[in-house]
Copies of this chain bind each other. A is one copy, B any other.
Amino acid sequence: MTDNNNIRIKDIAKLAGVSVGTVDRVIHKRGKVSEEVKEKIEKVLSETGYKPNLLARTLGSKKGIKIAVIMPNPEQDEYWALAFTGITQSLEDWSQYNLQIDNHFFDLFDSSSFREAAENALSQTPDGLVCAPIFHKETLEFFSQQNQDNIPYVLCNTFIKELSPISFIGQDLYQSGRLAGELISIGGTDKSHVAILHIQENIENSMHLKAKEQGLRDILEPKYEISSHDIKKMDPALIREQIEQILIDENLGGIFVSTSSALHEVASILENMGRSDIRLIGYDLLEKNLSYLKRGVINFLINQNPKRMTLTGIGHLSNHLLFQKELPENELFPLEIISRENMETYLNSRIH
């Protein structure tokens, strides 16, 4: 084995003619050091290229870390169930650092439940927060008012320009829409209409979906005529009705469903009507989506990678808390194209 011939704090102390305590104070800016001594130590520090042993640091400051997660209830939605698997796995990945994760789930249909979950999270004084800010207004309120202790937080899934988390993790939604447009038009179609379906719990929070829409429009217009439809996710029968309405259009060549949710409803209708002439593009490796992808009813899925999202979120936060590592301000995942022929390779890989 390699012997550890690194420069240690002790060496720095000797070189600077001071004690380790003083060096430690300089390194951590704990004050109470004369300017003169401070400068000398800093000089030695940079000359030797001192790098702390993070193992020893973590061990010495007998800290573990406690992270609170605020996200939609995984039982309510398969997308968030996938996201939750990332939480589970990060617990394993970071097990050696005695990491504790407290989950606080909220109801996708109920914005007040978000407040509750968030306040609960805070009340347990976590060292950091990972949050999926589904409800724009409530999130804003929470992070600008409640979080006065300045607990570091990471935001996942939805970008919120008014906030400054230590890191945002998600995807470029505009580009995602462009990609969807490209995927619809590959090889060309003879039909010239394309419909965008925004199907979700609360239509108020659909701003980010409009970014996807714009991307698609910029690719397909004016060659294609685009129509956009906001559909509130409630009664499946009601959704069906609205979709069937849209399908009356004989000239419809493609449908883009902007969220993973309820894509399978659309697929089911298309399949039942035998409309294999319509290209269908949507999001995420949900079970039902995959089965329609396999049967060719859905042509492509774009993977938003919810598992990797939470995994990376916890990872970044842990690195920040434990090792003071610098994080990317934005971690934008690639837009993964899933087709019938590569879906298994995604399912089989450790992170998907």
Contacts and interface: CB of A to CB of B under 8 A. Distances in A.
Interface in A211-254: 219
9 contacts: A1-B66, A2-B98, A3-B62, A53-B96, A54-B96, A55-B59, A175-B342, A186-B186, A333-B345
Interface string A176-202: 001101110011100000000000000
Contact of A175 (B179, B323, B341): B341
Contact of A6 (B65, B98, B335, B350): B98
A64 interface: yes
Interface string A322-352: 0100001001111111111110111011101
A328 B350 contact: yes
Given A2-B64, A3-B62, 18 more contacts: A1-B66, A2-B66, A3-B64, A55-B58, A55-B59, A175-B345, A179-B341, A179-B342, A182-B340, A186-B186, A219-B341, A331-B349, A331-B350, A334-B342, A334-B346, A334-B349, A335-B342, A337-B338
A63 interface: yes
A171 interface: yes
Given A2-B98, A2-B100, A95-B51, A337 B334 contact: no
A168 to B, nearest CB: 13
A11 interface: no
A97 interface: yes
A4 interface: yes
A78 interface: no
Interface in A73-107: 95-98, 100
Nearest to A1: B63
A56 interface: yes
A127 interface: yes
Nearest to A185: B187
